[in-house]
Amino acid sequence: MVFGSGVPTVGVDELKADDFLLDVREDDEWQAGHAAEALHIPMSEFVARYGELTEAAPQDGRVYVVCRVGGRSAQVTQYLVQQGIDAVNVDGGMQAWEAAGRPVVDDNGQPGSVV
């Protein structure tokens, strides 16, 4: 599936437990609820913190980028693809993640919610 102008996109149902997930939502959204194993780099800080992604992401693996509904993550995905990284946007974002019954935790590891 493709989002907008050629941004590669997948549905939440296509994600496996060991896929590398990058959450680009802002701090308040992350604190309320996120996927437990996701790397958090807010879109507003992404370019400055890009090195954190390149250190954490699997060398030959894909980066699945998520935000609340898919708009911000589509922009970050497009940037990553331009940098030569195998990245895809998660369609529907964390709202779709939560709706699919996937676990969402808050900053304390307790059940969280998507805001």
Catalytic residues: 67
Q: How far apart are the first and last CA of the chain?
A: 26
| Cα–Cα distance measured from residue 27 to residue 16, given in angstroms and rounded to the nearest whole number | 25
CB contact at 8 A, 64 and 90: yes
The 3-state DSSP class for residue 70 equals coil
Query: Which positions ≥6 away from 115 have C-beta within 8 Å?
Result: 28, 29, 32, 33, 68
